[in-house]
Amino acid sequence: MGFKGLFESGQGFTMTDVEGKLVPERGRMDVEGAFTHVSSSQVNVAYKSTHVINYKRTRAEIGQALRKKPNYLHYDLVDKHRSSPLQKGTDNITVETDVKAPRDYRFIMPEFMPRPHFEYRDRVLEKLERRDMLRRRTVINIPEFYVGSIMAVTVSDPFAPNKKNRFLGICIDRGGHGLKAYFVLRNVVDGLGVEIFYQMYSPTLHSIEVIRLEKRLDDRLYYLRNCPLEHSTFSFDMEPIALPRGAQVPVNTLKLKLNPKPWDERWERQDLKGIEPIELTPKMIKGIQKVHNASATPWKKHDLMLHYRSKVNEEEEETIMAEVYKENQLLESMRKTSKATLKKKK
């Protein structure tokens, strides 16, 4: 029952459950189990007198009132209020865990994972957002793709002659959480590099097709801007190549050679695997060392809390992915039946 959490006052005084008892964190338990206070200042005897309408605050209390403090509730406390027996009229989300998603499912649809920042988490908002995304997936097919895959996208464009535009290119970036998910395609048109940013769940998208499904060695391929144009040139008439069933997604281990300087970014400072080793000048080496020293954080690998907060925890990840997996299986079965009926009609 989520009722116990309501004792938390939200004023920096938290309670923990020790052997079924609610005990302030600052207190200690005796051998006999009796509760003793660390200092006598915690027992505010003056407040025991009731019906004090207006009271004079101590100097320490005034100082505390002036001090900076968070004026929002913790998301766990909000969840406890939602599931409290005292609350009526508003539903709370329910967790169903009868199916289990495959382990790599998270990498196929990374946009379903919420933003891991704990201040911005809200389970009801995430649920409603996921529901909107799954609804959109019933209308258009958003296939599995990765950075490095070659894709073609059709959108409704007010400036195109037929009010529709088809663009084909290599996916150089992918990101965003929830409905804000995006990907970027790059191609060369009339000798000029063109990059287009697409919102994945925008209703202006009509179709997304994967021409060649593969991965590259890096997560972001913006260095293609400083490579010869032949590496980002793809014919608009390319025909899709389907992978055999159950085959692993191939990794393209192509290593590109960068154009001579000037560059858009200092590529030598980034740990890129998809480019040939750069001939480093003394100035470059100095810059690399400078950046390395400035951002040197050898203690970070020992910071367990930082590691824990940098991503959504595994249990929650499993429940989210199970929900998405269940919905997607339903969708796929619907698609198969519709295809079968179309074939019969022909």
Partner 1 sequence: MASKSLFTCILRPSPITLLCANNNNLALLPSSYACVQQVRHRRFPKFVVRPTTRKVWHVRKWTQKHDDKLITSNEQFIQDIVVQNYANKSESPLKDAPWNRNPYIKGTRRTGVLALKLGTMVQWTKDGKGINVTLLQVLDNHVINYVPPELYKFYPSHLPHHSDRFGLQVVGALSCDPRQFSKPYNNLFVKAGVPPKRWLTRFLVTPDAAVQPGTPLCVNHFRVGDYVDVQGRTRDWGFQGVIKRWHMKGMPASHGVTKSHRKMGSTGGGGDKDGIWKGKHMPGMMGNRFSTLFGVKIWRINTKYNILYVRGRSIAGAPHTFVRVSDTVLPTKRIKAENAENVPMPTWFPEDETEPIPEELFDEEMFQFTSPSVELEAES
Name residues contacting partner 1, limited to 108-137 (CB under 8 A): 119-120, 122, 124-125, 128-129, 132-133, 135-136
Q: Does 62 bind partner 1 (CB under 8 A)?
A: yes
**Which region among 42-50, 142-150, 297-305, 323-331 touches partner 1 (by CB under 8 A)?**
42-50
Q: Minimum distance between the CB of residue 182 and partner 1, rounded to whole angstroms?
A: 11
User: Cα separation of 343 and 340, whole Å?
Assistant: 5
Measured N-to-C along each axis, helices 123-139 and 75-82 cross at an angle, to the nearest 10 degrees, of 80
Q: Does 280 bind partner 1 (CB under 8 A)?
A: no
Residue 251: both structure tokens together: 């990794």
User: Cα separation of 52 and 213, whole Å?
Assistant: 72
Per CB under 8 A, which of residues 301..340 are in contact with partner 1? none
Q: Does 57 bind partner 1 (CB under 8 A)?
A: yes
Q: Does 90 bind partner 1 (CB under 8 A)?
A: yes
**Which region among 96-104, 142-150, 198-206, 275-283 touches partner 1 (by CB under 8 A)?**
198-206
Q: Does 233 bind partner 1 (CB under 8 A)?
A: no
Q: Minimum distance between the CB of residue 164 and partner 1, rounded to whole angstroms?
A: 8
**Residue from 26, 28, 100, 180 in contact with partner 1 (CB under 8 A):** 180
Number of residues engaging partner 1 in binding (CB under 8 A): 78
Residues recorded for the chain: 346
Q: Does 18 bind partner 1 (CB under 8 A)?
A: no
